[in-house]
Structure 1
Amino acid sequence: MPFPLSPQSIDAIAEVISGGGGNDPTPPIGIYRSGPKIEKFMRACNVDFRVSGSRVPSLVDCLLDINRGFEPSAVFPRVIEAAADPRDFAHDPPRHTAVLEYLNNALRYDGFEIQQQGTKVRLVVAGHSTPVIATLSGVAETISFDTVKLDLERALGSIDSDPEDAITAACSTIESVCRSILIELGQPLPAKKDVSGLFNAVKQPLALSPDRSDLDQQIAADVRTTLGGLATVIQGVGALRTHAGDAHGREKGYARVDARIARLAIHAASTVALFLIETWQRKFPSRTLHRHDEPT
């Protein structure tokens, strides 16, 4: 992630956490917190903080120390996500929207944005998330499908620093969903447990066969075309994992793929995974899709 943050972002974060100066007549952007409450907030983020003098300048100094510290990328996401926690604004959703907009107006210049994903917010690298990725993350959180969520977060976090790992994690997202669907339905896992084999195995129980007789002939042809394209996308993501990902090792002097290709794999895998989860929810509305890890 592109740290350190700019002074403008530091000031915006401090404004949201503190609620601004005590003598400011304008309504606070975030939640007004006294000195002890700011200390409590920071402790909850695993940051040791004591107000020394005025509360807002003390908080700014603390955030600047984090910014100059050894691992701002490990601390700032916790602090920023806690500052914009939707639960603190449940009584006033428009105010929460204003907080997100206020933070993003500063963070975007540093290459970040904070996004609502399901019932939580996440600090992400700007441009690395799309509506389908945000929706998938929210769905995965709602059904407690943390394998998909973790694979997705790993992929997004590795786009620039390790695009090969991002591709591997993107492929794992599809595999996690397919494997869990098969196990939940009591279906055997295919002999070939790669992403294409797993997808082919879930098509029949999810009624994704292009030969369905309950559809208009023209629509059935369109379905065949769409599902054929979906299968091609999955095959492509799997091939990228084999040839450019890190799942099967890297040859000495191997030319790294760039972030564009990693982002393409993540967007494609997210679309497929979301489609499969929503198909499950439509076909089995009374059943919960539980997570099933890969057998060891």
Structure 2
Amino acid sequence: MKRNWPLYVLCIPSLAFVSIFAYGPMVGLLMAFQDYKPWLGITGSDWIGLDNFERIFQYEDANQAIVNTLIIAVSKIIVGIIVPIVMAILLSEIRNVGIKKSIQTLVYLPHFLSWVTVAGMMIDLLGLEGGINHLLTSLFGIEPVYFLGDPALFRPTIVISDLWKNFGFGMIVYLATIAGIDPSYYEAAEIDGATRRQQIWHVTLPSMMPMIIVIATLSLGNILDAGFDQIFNLYNPLVYSTGDIIDTYVYRSSLLNGQYGFGTAVGLFKSVISFILIVISYRLAYKLANYRIF
């Protein structure tokens, strides 16, 4: 403590921020076990035990929100792992540094845009009178498609838009991994007569595998996080059947419908499951790829 006290002082603002905005509000988790009434407060509301949690599995719309969350989140995880790997390999094969850097910048740029901005762009492009429908109608004579209002198309639209926004960040990680591969492996493979495709298959991919395992296992912790910001800015009552996720359901149940206790119970249920999955994912990452934070 005496030797490192300046470092502890630097940690004080972060600790204060976490304490006030992360741990302080956790007192509100008591509402999950109450028939919470705002005018009575936490101390005056009746305790009902686990009734709110039982209602999660009794309400059809709550169960549907859980199913939607799993489908959307798993789809995002699978696509979000495969596409960055492929793009990183393809980009690493480009020898022109200028072209390589330009492509890298273009695909990474959307990561810095907020979902409010991206949602506005998507509504303009995918609306009934948007640019995409205008092209479909004028070039192919297809009737306008309501991408954000059709339950069958909403999930693919969400997954593809999330991929467009975020795959550049994942690609950077894999590019760094490829850059760290010993060039002598490629030289030995080339001497043995391996083509570029064979070098990718037998040198690049095996060398990337530890990082792929780490990213894949750590993604398990996000299996119940389908992206509130994205869904909230894009969904509407027409697509609740396929687009309503746990976080948006909690928002509507608690803040809009006044069911604060039930909404808190749903959120707590998700948090506990996510915590368990995070612990499991870190254990798997340590066992499979020797990855550890501490």
Query: What TM bracket, shorter-length normalisation?
Result: under 0.3
Larger Rg: 2
- Whose relative contact order is higher, 1 or 2, with alpha carbons under 8 Å and at least 6 apart? 2
TM-score, normalised to structure 1, is 0.22
TM-score, normalised to structure 2, is 0.22
